[in-house]
Amino acid sequence: MRRALWAILALSLFGVVFSGVLSYQELFGATAAACPAPGAPGTVLGYPACIYGFFVYLAIAGLAAAGLRAGAHGGAARAAAHVAHA
């Protein structure tokens, strides 16, 4: 399980960096003035799709990190609870 969480964390951090670079270029780069108007093709609710991807990857990275942290601290607590119920 921990190996899967590490893989998810690594892939999501790559996604955060990749979509972050694209978002930065879309919002602040040289072509920012030429961005399509809200509602134009290539936008979602007025923003480029890469911005939404950035926040989704950020959420996935946060969830994977929280899962890894809970696994590191929760393993002893689960074992103690299992012994108490036996």
pTM of the model: 0.72
> How far apart (Å, rounded) are the C-alpha atoms in residues 50 and 32?
14
How close are the terminal C-alpha atoms of the chain, in Å?
25
> How far apart (Å, rounded) are the C-alpha atoms in residues 86 and 83?
5
Mean pLDDT calculated for residue range 7-36: 85
Q: Which two tokens stand for residue 41?
A: 């093709």
4 has pLDDT over 60: yes
Mean pLDDT calculated for residue range 9-13: 96
47 versus 81: the higher-pLDDT residue is 47
20 has pLDDT over 90: yes
Kindly report, residue by residue over 36-57, the tens digit of the pLDDT.
666 677 778 878 888 999 999 9
Give the amino acid at 42: G
